[in-house]
Chains A and B, each alone.
Chain A
Amino acid sequence: MTETRGKVVGVNGNMVSVEVDGNISLNEVGYVVIGDKKLKAEVIRIRGNRAELQVFEMTRGIGVDDPVEFTGELLAVELGPGLLSMIYDGLQNPLPELAEQCGFFLERGIYLPALNRTTKWTFTPKVKAGDTVTAADTLGTVPEGIFDHRIMVPFDMTETYTVKSIVSQGDYTVEDQVAELEDSKGNVSQLTMKFEWPVKRAISNYEERLKTGEQMVTKLRIVDTFIPVSLGGTYCIPGPFGAGKTVMQQITSRNAEVDIVIIAACGERAGEVVETLREFPELTDPRTGRTLMERTVIICNTSSMPVAAREASVYTAVTLAEYYRQMGLHVLVLADSTSRWAQAMREMSGRLEEIPGEEAFPAYLESVIAGFYERSGLVRLKDGTKGSVTIGGSVSPAGGNFEEPVTQATLKVVGAFHGLSRERSDARKYPAIDPLDSWSKYPGSVDKDATEYARNILFRGNEVDQMMKVVGEEGTSLDDYVIYQKGEFMDAVYLQQNAFDPVDAAVSVERQQHIFRVMMQILASNFNFEGKDEARMFFNELRQKFIDYNGSEWDGDDFKKLEKAILDQVESKKSGVDRLAVDILETTKA
Chain B
Amino acid sequence: MQKVYSKIDAIQGNVITVTASGVRYGDLATVNSAHGTSLAEVIRLNGTNVSMQVFTGGRGISTGDEVRFLGHSMKISFSDNLLGRIFDGSGRPRDNGPTLEENLIEIGGPSVNPARRVIPRNMIRTGIPMIDVFNTLVESQKLPIFSVSGEPYNDLLSRIAMQAEVDMIILAGIGLKYDDYLTFREQLEEGGAMARTIFFVHTASDPIVESLLVPDVSLAVAEKFALKGKRVLVLLTDMTNFADSMKEIAITMEQVPSNRGYPGDLYSQLAARYEKAVDFEGAGSITILGATTMPGDDVTHPVPDNTGYITEGQYYLRNGRIEPFGSLSRLKQLVNDKTREDHRAIMDGMIRLYAAYKESLEKKSMGFRMGEWDNKLLKYGEAFERTMMDLSVNIPLEEALDKGWEILAECFDANETGLKSDLLRKFWPKQEGQRQESA
Tell me which residues across on chain A come within 8 A of B110, comparing CB atoms. 58, 105-108
A472 touches B368 (CB 8 A): yes
Residue pair A359, B120 in contact (C-beta under 8 Å): no
Contact of B114 among A302, A350, A427, A500 (CB under 8 A): A302
Kindly state whether residue A577 has any CB partner on chain B within 8 Å. Answer: no
Among the interface residues A17, A399, A428, which one has the most CB atoms of the partner chain B within 10 A? A399
The answer to whether B111 touches A106, judged by C-beta atoms less than 8 angstroms apart, is: yes
Residue of A nearest to B330 (CB): A242
B44 within 8 Å of A (CB atoms)? yes
| A96 in contact (CB, < 8 A) | yes
* A11–B256 touching, CB < 8 Å: no
Is B275 in contact with A304, judged by CB distance below 8 angstroms? yes
Q: State how many angstroms separate the Cβ of B424 from the closest Cβ of chain A.
A: 13
Q: Check B113 for interface membership: any CB of A closer than 8 A.
A: yes
Chain A, range 402-444, C-beta contacts under 8 Å to B: 426-428
Q: Report whether B114 and A12 are in contact in the complex, using a CB–CB cutoff of 8 Å.
A: no
Closest A residue, CB atoms, query B26: A60
Say yes or no: A473 contacts B25, CB within 8 Å.
no
A99, B280: Cα distance in complex, Å? 13
What B residues does A10 contact at CB under 8 A?
Answer: 44-47
0/1 interface trace, chain B 86-124, chain A, CB 8 Å (1 if under): 000000000000000000000011111111111110000
Are B305 and A241 in contact, CB atoms less than 8 angstroms apart?
yes
Contact with A along B26-50 (1 / 0, CB 8 A): 1000000000000000001111100
Which chain A residue lies CB-closest to B351? A428
Contacts of A428 in B (CB 8 A): 348, 351-352
Q: Tell me the B173-198 residues at the A interface (CB within 8 Å).
A: none
| Contact of B328 with A by CB under 8 A | yes
Could you tell me the distance in whole angstroms from the C-beta of A117 to the nearest C-beta in chain B?
A: 19
Question: Is B326 at the interface (CB under 8 A from chain A)?
Answer: yes
What 5 new A-B contacts, CB under 8 Å, besides A98-B113, A275-B119? A12-B44, A270-B111, A302-B111, A343-B268, A427-B355
B399 at the interface (CB under 8 A from A): no
By a CB distance below 8 angstroms, the chain B residues around A105 are 109-113
Which of B114, B280, B301, B302 is A277 in contact with, Cβ under 8 Å?
Answer: B114
Cα A348 to Cα B116 with chains together (Å): 29
Interface check B366, CB cutoff 8 A: yes
Q: Which of A8, A108, A401, A426 contacts B325 (CB 8 A)?
A: A426
Is B22 part of the contact surface with A, judged by Cβ < 8 Å?
A: yes
- A48: min CB distance to chain B, Å: 15
Query: B340-363 toward A: CB 8 Å interface, digit per residue (1/0)?
Result: 000000001001100100000001
B391, CB-defined interface residue at 8 Å: no
Interface residues in B, total, Cβ within 8 A:
65
Are A356 and B114 in contact, CB atoms less than 8 angstroms apart?
no
Q: Does A221 contact B (CB under 8 A)?
A: no
B26 to chain A: which residues have CB within 8 Å?
A: 59-61
Bound CA–CA A105/B276 (angstroms): 11
Please judge, given known A-B contacts A87-B115, A105-B113, A270-B275, whether A64 and B48 are in contact too, CB under 8 Å: yes
CB distance from B122 to the nearest CB of A (A): 14
Contact (Cβ within 8 A) B264 A273: no
B282-306 to A contact mask, C-beta < 8 Å, 1/0: 0000000000000000001110010
Q: How far is the CB of B50 from chain A (nearest CB, A)?
A: 9
Cβ-based interface call for B60 (8 A)? no
Residue of A nearest to B267 (CB): A343
Which residues in A have their C-beta under 8 angstroms from that of B118?
Answer: 274, 278
Contact B115 A400 (CB under 8 A): no
Contact A102 B113 (CB under 8 A): yes
Cα of A426 to Cα of B268 in the assembled complex, Å: 26
Distance between A568 CB and nearest chain B CB, rounded to angstroms: 20
Contact B256 A242 (CB under 8 A): no
Q: A104-B116, A303-B310, A396-B309 are in contact. Are A360 and B45 (CB under 8 A)?
A: no
Q: Which residue of A lies closest to B263 (CB)?
A: A350
Q: Which residues of chain B come closer than 8 Å to A58, judged between CB atoms?
A: 110
Q: Is the CB of A63 within 8 A of B45?
A: yes
Asked whether any CB of chain A lies closer than 8 Å to the CB of B73, the reply is yes
Question: Which residue on B lies nearest to A108, using beta carbons?
Answer: B110
Beta-carbon contacts under 8 Å, B313-343 to A: 313-314, 325-326, 328, 330-331, 333
B272 touching A304 by the CB < 8 A rule? yes
Contact across chains for B271 and A303 when beta carbons are under 8 A apart: yes
**Interface status of A340 (Cβ within 8 A of chain B):** yes
- Given A105-B109, A105-B110 in contact, is the A64-B326 Cβ separation under 8 Å? no
A400 / chain B contacts, CB cutoff of 8 Å: 300, 305
Which residues in B have their C-beta under 8 angstroms from that of A22?
Answer: none
Residues from chain A with a CB closer than 8 A to the CB of B227 are 104
Nearest opposing residue in chain A for B301, CB measure:
A399
Contact between chains at A300 and B45 (CB < 8 Å): no
Whether the Cβ atoms of B308 and A242 lie closer than 8 Å is yes
Residue of B nearest to A62 (CB): B25
Q: 29 A-B pairs, CB-CB below 8 angstroms?
A: A12-B46, A64-B45, A95-B114, A103-B113, A103-B116, A104-B112, A105-B110, A105-B112, A105-B113, A106-B111, A242-B308, A242-B330, A267-B267, A270-B114, A274-B114, A274-B118, A274-B119, A275-B119, A278-B119, A302-B114, A303-B268, A303-B271, A304-B272, A346-B264, A350-B255, A359-B258, A360-B259, A398-B302, A426-B326
Q: Which residue of B lies closest to A356 (CB)?
A: B256
Least CB distance, A39 to chain B, in whole angstroms? 11
- Residue of B whose beta carbon sits closest to that of A298: B114
A-side contacts of B113, CB under 8 Å: 95, 98-99, 102-106
Q: Report Cα–Cα, A473/B48, bound state, in Å.
A: 75
B68 on interface, CB distance cutoff 8 Å: no
Residue numbers in B under 8 Å from A473 (CB-CB): 368
